[in-house]
Amino acid sequence: MHTVYISDHSNIMDKGMNSTNVLSSSFSSFHSTSNPLSRSMLFFVSELQMLEILLAFVVFIAIHSIRQRKHQGLPNWPFAGMLPSLIIGLRQDLYEWLSEVICRQNGTFIFKGAWFTNLNCVVTADPRNLEYLLKTKFSNFPKGEYFRNSVNDLLGDGIFGADDEIWQRQRKTASLEFHSAKFRQLTAESLLELVHGRLLPVLEDSINQAAPVDLQDILLRLTFDNVCMIAFGVDPGCLRQGLPDRPFAQAFEAATETTIARFVTPTIVWKTMRFLNLGTERTLKQSIRVVNKFAEEVIGTRKKELSLSTEDINQRSDLLTVFMRQKDEKGQLLTEKLLRDVCVNFILAGRDTSSVALSWFFWLLNKHPEVEEKILAEICGIVNIRQNLTSEDYKEDLIFKPEEVKKMEYLHAALSESLRLYPSVPVDHKEVLEDDIFPDGTILKKGTKIVYSIYTMGRMEAIWGKDSGEYKPERWLRDGRFISESAYKFTAFNGGPRLCLGKDFAYYQMKFAAASILYRYHVTMVKHHPVVPKMSLTMYLKYGLQVQLSRRAKSEIQKYMV
């Protein structure tokens, strides 16, 4: 019985195990073949795990990239580099954004673009590096191929983008002309004619009509007429009562704006856009067509005049005539293409820089009336020296003499302080010819692009002290006399061999125009008018400078005429 029991029990166990195996096999079969829902559940679990791994990887990369901000200045993302940060910077005030990064990195940082771009560059505002770049090792830091390619459609082989012999010949020719007594006399006479014959009447019209005006637009018209008169011997008549349309000037502004966009756009992108004639490249092409037409007309007119060989023509000494008479190393006259480039470059140098600087200057004066008071007191004090004038000798048609303009030291300081904070050319570009190293230790490989931020330099406490963000003309004065700063600390006019040839003329032009306006008018900003810089080769006010003018009371002048 016992044996039978065990045997029966074993049989029962065997049957049970067999049943279990069958069930297990059936369950496996159920999962593997019979139930699509279960397969979906397993796939979902697998996908969820992959998503978690991917998310963890992304979080790790993000944390790692953001932590690099402390050492490299900006987050450096895989493949994208620092491009995402640049895009964010472009959507706000680019110059302030750039200054914040540079100051955080003690004056220099390396920008790394996306892997498919050529936006890698060294960005600096360190005066030691600037002196090394612009003077000490000048020959190792040309404008470079990248800069020339980017600006070539607009500036060609003109003095701004040229290097080596082409630049040297233009520089030498222009330098001889700028420093001649005849040229200085011509600039003073043409400016007097423009200010008193056109600028002041236009401003009077705005007062009579009780209408606000765009002072930046008016100043751009003034400097454009002026540079054309002294550089090309032609009068385009932009600054006239009624303010006629100025297609060339509008096209020129559009061209400079779209040209600077190339520096923050991957080369392959803007070249593709140019090939397809799309977007900003289409705008640039259309604008340059207008610019070229103006230059061709000026050159054509001058060639016809020179062919007459009259005594008056032979005595001409404007820049265009001088260049048209010049010959290259082969004894050939300059091509029309190079003459066109000369014209466009000198328009950029003579028109935009002074007018933009004056626009920011008047905006700053509106915020600092105490500075305006000091300028007015200085102007009246200088005029009062004329044959012992009294308060009764106030004249609305007063014309400042060149020697009087030269004595306006505080005005000179106020304009310099404005240029420190708002330089007409906010950033500039160089390229490394051979491997080198900056004084601050930054290693420079051959072909490296260098961007130096003149805008940032004016805001660095290490250069200007704790009050670097304040508008204080007094920082330029010693015992009431204007004292210039190092060109590698105050780089508004560049430095070294490329120091601006027209620096003295620009100061005279700005002082004469500013003094003539301030002596007669109060310049008040229109309320709520937005004032932000525009991203361009020169730092226009993006929305212009809308102001309301009012005549200065005679009594206000008389109190200083003692």
Distance CA 226, CA 236 (A): 9
Walk across the sheet containing 213-214 and list its strands.
213-214, 546-551, 521-525
366 residue type, one letter: N
- Residue stretches of the annotated binding site: 500
Tell me: the pLDDT tens digits for 255-309?
988 998 898 888 889 999 999 999 999 999 999 999 999 999 889 888 888 887 6
Distance CA 117, CA 120 (A): 8
Q: How does DSSP assign 235-304, residue by residue?
A: ----SSTT----HHHHHHHHHHHHHHHGGGS-HHHHHHHHHHT-HHHHHHHHHHHHHHHHHHHHHHHHHH
Residue 363, CA distances (Å) to 241, 367, 392, 474, 515 in order: 24, 7, 31, 18, 15
pTM: 0.84
- Residue stretches of the annotated binding site for heme: 500
CATH number 1.10.630.10 given to 140-558: yes
> What pLDDT band is residue 43 in, cutting at 50, 70 and 90?
low
Tell me: the pLDDT tens digits for 503-520?
999 999 999 999 999 999
Tell me: the pLDDT tens digits for 70-84?
556 687 777 778 788
Name residue 443's beta-bridge partners.
Answer: 437
Tell me: the pLDDT tens digits for 470-487?
999 999 999 989 999 999
- Report, as an integer, the average pLDDT of 103-127: 88
Nearest to 454 by CA among 475, 427, 473: 427
Ranking 132-136, 179-183, 423-427 by mean pLDDT, the lowest is 179-183
Domain boundaries, the chain: 2-139, 140-558
Tell me: the pLDDT tens digits for 424-465?
999 999 999 999 999 999 999 999 999 999 999 999 999 999
Strand, helix or coil at 334?
Answer: coil
